[in-house]
Amino acid sequence: MIRLLVAGTFLALITFWLHRRLVRAPGLRGRAAIAANTALGVLLVVALIGAQSGTSLDPRWARPFGFLGWTWLGVVLYLVLGTLLIGIVCLAARTVRRFRRDDLPPPDPSRRRALQIATGALAVGAVAAVGYGTVEAARPRIVHTRIPLRRLPTGFEGLRVALVTDLHVGPSRGREFTRRTVDLVNAQQPDLIVLGGDLTDGTIALVGPDLAPLADLRAPLGVYGVSGNHEYYADDAMSWLDFWETLGVRTLRNERVTLERGGDAIDLAGIHDYSAPAPNEADLTAALQDRDPERFVLLAAHQPRHVFEARDHGVDLQLSGHTHGGQMWPLGYVVPLQQPTVTGLDRFGDTLVYTSRGTGAWGPPVRIATPPEVAILQLNGSLV
């Protein structure tokens, strides 16, 4: 109930602000104003349904509303940014007119007409951008990356690792999206599959069935997974990991396993999310205790910012997600305020980290300038 109240209050305030900026400020009257206000009211209700889909509302009937509601919130992002820009331009124009006292301000109808044109262009542009981003988000693509690693043993030369993170199925995407992702991964015939967390948004009872296709993932060295921050939001994270185990995913809970190939061995370690609360907080020291320091170690950690600790523990390669590459331009410029790297391959001392843009989308099922990916990483045994 508290979550519903908070979401409802926030969405109501946003809707009122949009009414002020998109309807009243441009001076819409009559049928146009009625139509705009009705649309804002309906979209408020749909967005509220979307915010509860997968947690308190069954996505089997709520998902279409969730898809529309979350997509609308993507439009809202650009409407808010655009109206702020229009406001800044108007303020600058008024300031210039005040300093140029010899010029009279233009007639009020002219200013109102200019504002109407700018607001209309903004609305069309926001809808068009989000429409494009919705199509883009529905088409994850395979991204191949070669990663040269000095300490990789000969037996693991050419190892192909599929990294799948941030599916976020539940509110707006369901079982079909998971199936499409599984088919993409299996078609690449990877040697090892790592699930990097944030697979769902919702409860096991309502969203768990959407992950069922994960049981069909296949890799000779196995399928492993670690928790992300969203596993802790709507349900108990350990229960989510237990559920993954029923689908054949070996979850790594601040622990490591030994992988053998071609007569050689490496350590695969996995830790809980950076923000996980006690008693399940991330503990890389526990995951790597008593290991052979000469052995190559591959770490699965949902958030890239684990890399500083990974560097101190001699991790060779860290696999992460979480950032979505920003998901919707220009949010990618904000991500570095929280994470040391946003997307792709980066180096911190002797530790490399690959950060996936993620396969799904959180909130709005929209991707703009940051296409979704399934990463296929080929590990090679020498630095170039």
> pLDDT for 35-54, tens place per residue?
989 999 999 999 999 888 99
User: Could you identify the residue written with the tokens 């609360």?
Assistant: 277
The predicted pLDDT at position 109 comes to 67
The predicted pLDDT at position 262 comes to 92
Is there a single domain that holds both residue 146 and residue 128?
A: no
Is there a single domain that holds both residue 124 and residue 226?
A: no
Cα angle, residue 43 at apex, residues 39 and 47 outer, rounded to 5°: 175
> pLDDT for 148-193, tens place per residue?
999 999 999 999 999 999 999 999 999 999 999 999 999 999 999 9
Of the residues 79, 114, 136, which one is the last residue of a structural domain? 136
Q: Which domain, by its residues, includes 272?
A: 141-381
Is there a single domain that holds both residue 271 and residue 296?
A: yes
CA 384, chain centre distance (Å): 32
Q: Find the radius of gyration of the CA atoms of the chain.
A: 24
Specify the number of domains making up the chain: 2
DSSP class of residue 24?
Answer: I
Is there a single domain that holds both residue 131 and residue 35?
A: yes
Which amino acid, 87? G
The predicted pLDDT at position 189 comes to 97
The predicted pLDDT at position 114 comes to 79
Is there a single domain that holds both residue 312 and residue 369?
A: yes
CA atoms within 13 A on the CB side of 289: 6
Is there a single domain that holds both residue 14 and residue 117?
A: yes
User: Could you identify the residue written with the tokens 């069954």?
Assistant: 58
Mean of per-residue pLDDT scores for the chain: 92
The predicted pLDDT at position 94 comes to 74
Mean pLDDT along residues 97-119 = 69
Percentage of residues in the chain with pLDDT exceeding 70? 96
Beta strands (DSSP E) in 218-348 are 223-225, 250-251, 255-261, 264-270, 297-300, 317-320, 344-348
Is there a single domain that holds both residue 106 and residue 243?
A: no
Q: Are strands 192-195 and 159-164 parallel, antiparallel or unpaired?
A: parallel
The predicted pLDDT at position 383 comes to 52
The predicted pLDDT at position 384 comes to 44
Per-residue pLDDT band for 108 (boundaries 50, 70, 90) equals low
Beta strands (DSSP E) in the chain are 141-148, 159-164, 192-195, 223-225, 250-251, 255-261, 264-270, 297-300, 317-320, 344-348, 351-355, 373-380
Lowest-pLDDT choice from 4-18, 214-228, 246-260, 338-352:
4-18
C-alpha–C-alpha distance, residues 54 and 66, integer Å: 9
CA atoms within 13 A on the CB side of 242: 6
